[in-house]
Amino acid sequence: MSLPVRIAITGAAGNIGYALAFRIAAGDMFGPDQPVILHLVEIPPALDALSGVTMELNDCAFPLLQEIVATADANEGFEGVDYALLVGAKPRGPGMERGDLIADNGKIFGPQGRAINDNASPGVRVLVVGNPANTNCLIAASSAPNLDRNQFTAMTRLDHNRAISWLAEKTQTHSTQIRRMSIWGNHSATQYPDLSNCTVNGTLATELVDETWCRESFIPKVQKRGAEVIRARGASSAASAASAAIDHVRTWLRGTTEGDWTSMAVASDGSYGVEEGIVYSYPVTCSNGSYSIVQDLEVSEFSRGCMNTTEDELREERAAVEDLLE
Ligand code: NAD
Ligand code: LMR
């Protein structure tokens, strides 16, 4: 057995945290041979609830779970962690956009970025889930001067998985037959789920579905799926978000399969003309624990318009949190 890895989950007593902690402890993120130490980070009013989560984790007697650190102190919470899953933040309610959360949630991520900078393992990998995830990720990364921007990512894997699932249903195939799905931009209603390069059983998706379905059904469906779940459940997606977080980290670590890619929101390096620095979702390949933005994809006029719209929104979000950026 290898040495345990340390994983911090903020908001561990919340809905996503509750799903995430048990799946990580069961081995879903790092595999059946990798012991784990969970750092469960909360705010003081949630510590009672967190002690219940700890009790339940212990009651599972998970073979891979070596230790639990449960705390409301971010420095302790991020001490020596190899992975930091920043989930803790308010979810939106019906009728809200994720960007409406920026004033309340943005201020959480500067102090957490600093605490990660000061306490985590130097090679820590960070995934921001709390909304608005791209801009919160930008805030956290800007507060961590000793770490590389490439260590900070935000989650669009849920959108990626939703897009795959929706296309699989439309083409009467299985999600495993779909390759090269791309989510561009913000984890918001402006995101651009792009079928241009996508294949279904080796055939270009654009040969199987018509443009009207793509523009009038597929794209808006993926863009608004989070709101659809909120309307139905009365609460935002939790188990699917936890599952996507597990997929995100596992793919980052283990790599994408040959001929395929995934979607991750990462610090733009200017690829595809997107302004450098903003946290923008791109198609990426992963290998040896690193990601690379897929280069040289052809961009149609329609795609360019969609990519610009979501970039504009990210610039506006960045302007709204200028005072939180270091
Ligand atoms: P929740 O309200 O059930 O849980 C949030 C938890 O975070 C609470 O227990 C709260 O005490 C804790 N928290 C708040 N501030 C904290 C801080 N500073 N440090 C540590 N913990 C803190 O919410 P949820 O359903 O688990 O959702 C969490 C976030 O994830 C929301 O912002 C939601 O919108 C977002 N989300 C993102 C995606 C995505 O795809 N990126 C998907 C689903 C949900
Ligand atoms: C989602 O996509 O389900 C989450 O971001 C929650 C939300 O507010 O939509």
pLDDT level of residue 316 (50, 70, 90 thresholds): very high
Residue 176 has pLDDT above 90, yes or no: yes
Catalytic residue among 39, 160, 187, 248: 187
Q: Is 136 in the pocket of ligand 2 (CB under 6 A)?
A: no
Among the bound ligands, name the one nearest to the CA of residue 109: 1
Atom 1 (ligand 1) nearest CA: 14
pLDDT level of residue 99 (50, 70, 90 thresholds): confident
* Ligand 1 centroid to residue 126 C-alpha, Å: 15
Q: Is 136 in the pocket of ligand 1 (CB under 6 A)?
A: no
Q: Is 158 in the pocket of ligand 2 (CB under 6 A)?
A: yes
Q: What is the mean pLDDT of residues 196-214?
A: 98
* Ligand 1 centroid to residue 91 C-alpha, Å: 6
Three-state secondary structure string covering the chain: CCCCEEEEEECCCCHHHHHHHHHHHCCCCCCCCCCEEEEEECCHHHHHHHHHHHHHHHHCCCCCEEEEEEECCHHHHHCCCCEEEECCCCCCCCCCCHHHHHHHHHHHHHHHHHHHHHHCCCCCEEEECCCCHHHHHHHHHHCCCCCCHHHEEECCHHHHHHHHHHHHHHCCCCHHHEECCEEEECCCCCCEEECCCCEECCEEHHHHCCHHHHHHHHHHHHHCHHHHHHHHHCCCCCHHHHHHHHHHHHHHHHCCCCCCCEEEEEECCCHHHCCCCCEEEEEEEEECCEEEECCCCCCCHHHHHHHHHHHHHHHHHHHHCHHHCC
Radius of gyration of the chain (CA): 19
**pLDDT, tens digit (0-9, with 9 covering 90-100), for 37-53:** 999 999 999 999 999 99
Q: Domain spanning 5-154 has what CATH number?
A: 3.40.50.720
Among the bound ligands, name the one nearest to the CA of residue 188: 2
Residue 133 has pLDDT above 90, yes or no: yes
Supply the pLDDT for residue 94: 86
**pLDDT, tens digit (0-9, with 9 covering 90-100), for 15-26:** 999 999 999 999
pLDDT level of residue 302 (50, 70, 90 thresholds): very high
Atom 9 (ligand 1) nearest CA: 14
- Asked if residue 9 lies in contact with residue 20, where contact means CB atoms within 8 angstroms, the answer is yes
Q: What is the mean pLDDT of residues 174-196?
A: 98
Residue 225 has pLDDT above 90, yes or no: yes
Residue 71 has pLDDT above 90, yes or no: yes
For 30, 158, 192, 321, the CA distances from 108, given in Å and listed in that order, are: 27, 22, 27, 12
Residue 1 has pLDDT above 80, yes or no: no
CATH 3.20.20.70 fits 157-320, yes or no: no
Query: Mean pLDDT across the chain, nearest whole number?
Result: 97
The whole-angstrom separation of Cα 272 and Cα 136 is 22
Q: Is 53 in the pocket of ligand 2 (CB under 6 A)?
A: no
Q: Where are the chain's structural domains?
A: 5-154, 157-320
pTM of the model: 0.98
Question: For 200, phi and psi rounded to 5 degrees?
Answer: -125, 115
Q: What is the mean pLDDT of residues 250-275?
A: 98
Catalytic (active site) residue 187 = yes
The whole-angstrom separation of Cα 80 and Cα 60 is 25
Supply the pLDDT for residue 95: 87
Asked if the domains at 5-154 and 157-320 fall in one CATH topology, the answer is no
* Ligand 1 centroid to residue 200 C-alpha, Å: 34
Residue 152 has pLDDT above 80, yes or no: yes
The DSSP bridge partners found for residue 281 are 185, 265
Q: Is 226 in the pocket of ligand 2 (CB under 6 A)?
A: yes
Among the bound ligands, name the one nearest to the CA of residue 244: 1
* Ligand 2 centroid to residue 92 C-alpha, Å: 8
Atom 1 (ligand 2) nearest CA: 226
* Ligand 2 centroid to residue 99 C-alpha, Å: 11
Q: Is 99 in the pocket of ligand 1 (CB under 6 A)?
A: no
- Asked if residue 231 lies in contact with residue 253, where contact means CB atoms within 8 angstroms, the answer is no
Atom of ligand 2 nearest to the CA of 96: 8
Supply the pLDDT for residue 93: 86
Residue 69 has pLDDT above 90, yes or no: yes
